[in-house]
Amino acid sequence: MKGRILKGIAGFYYVDVPEAGLYECKAKGAFRKAGVKPLVGDFVDMAVIDEEKKVGNVEKIMERKNELIRPAVSNVDQAMYIFSVTKPKPNLNLLDRFLGMMEYQDVPTVIVINKVDLDTEGETNRLKAIYESAGYQVITTSMKSGKEKEILWNVLKGKTTTVAGPSGVGKSTFTNLMHGTTVMETGAISEKIQRGKNTTRHSQCLALGEDTYLMDTPGFGSMLIPEIEKEDLSDLFREFRDYSPQCRFQGCAHIHEPDCEVKRALEDGKISQSRYDNYLLLYEEVKNRKKY
């Protein structure tokens, strides 16, 4: 039977088979020998061992569309980064790190600014402008009111989306809101998975509907992918790529070099100061990072 790994804990993989339900599976020793580790998000072939107990074996892992490094999940179509206009206050440095990581892994990202009902200073529009001009889709919403439910659902529909963002911004509210629009039978699956939740947080995939999945992954945190070199960083700020080919020096870091088009774009207001400042911070961080 064909299914998808929605969760993995301590050597067990929970495989969702449409129509048939959720199976607790072990992976064949052959995978271990080949150095392949099944991932949350994998599409697999599964053999039933005990239908009553819903126990099976993962026989084959289908070719992956992609594989994220951290968190280790596969077959992700897009990322959604949620933050709130206030309560908690936005941390754009965290957001820019996240965007950089997703650029590095070629995962398109949609930005959601939540709690616009609490905005009294036009902060939402200021933030939206920064990221739209950087080339990102930005959705502003108040999850509490459920107003933009349709818009959000249309972004998710037919895709696997990994959701990230600081604590308290409304990620769980979002997940619940999206669950509300789903077909009944997937509800039971996600409940079963939720019940298995323990203190260590694991990545898990939530089936919202046919071909529509949310990935709830811990550990995006504030890290940068270790392989990123300072020379790579500029390309991870997508709007910089519009200007960097015209810099006088190849490999321009856009910091002290003369005739730098990125800095010119900054002066002209085409690149936002906040994005540029975070680039500088990350550049220093990567430069000074200890090599192991």
Ligand X SMILES: Nc1nc2c(ncn2[C@@H]2O[C@H](COP(=O)(O)OP(=O)(O)O)[C@@H](O)[C@H]2O)c(=O)[nH]1
Tally the C-alpha atoms within 13 A of residue 194's C-alpha that lie toward its C-beta. 11
Cβ count within 10 A of residue 45 = 14
Comparison of 120 and 167: residue with beta carbon closer to Mg ion: 167
- Residue 182 binds which one of Zn ion, Mg ion, ligand X, none, with CB within 5 to 8 A depending on kind? none
Q: How far apart are CA 268 and CA 71, in angstroms?
A: 37
Say whether residue 260 binds Zn ion (CB under 5 A): yes
Draw the binding track, 151-180, toward ligand X (x: CB under 6 A; -: no contact): --------------x-xxxxxxx-------
Q: Which of 118, 139, 155, 286 binds ligand X (CB under 6 A)?
A: 118
By the 10 Å C-beta count (0-12 exposed, 13-18 middle, 19+ buried), 174 is classed as: buried
**Cβ-contact 59, 44 below 8 angstroms:** yes
Residue 266 CB contacts under 8 Å (≥ 6 apart), including other chains: 273, 276
- Residue 134 binds which one of Zn ion, ligand X, Mg ion, none, with CB within 5 to 8 A depending on kind? none
Say whether residue 117 binds ligand X (CB under 6 A): yes
- Residue 118 binds which one of Mg ion, ligand X, Zn ion, none, with CB within 5 to 8 A depending on kind? ligand X
**Candidates 6-14, 110-118, 197-205, 235-243 — which segment interacts with ligand X by CB under 6 A?**
110-118
Q: Which of 124, 140, 142, 278 binds ligand X (CB under 6 A)?
A: 142
Chain residues 28-57 in contact with Zn ion, contact rule CB under 5 A = none
Comparison of 56 and 166: residue with beta carbon closer to Mg ion: 166
Chain residues 83-112 in contact with Mg ion, contact rule CB under 5 A = none
**Site residues (vs ligand X, CB under 6 A):** 114-115, 117-118, 142-144, 165, 167-173
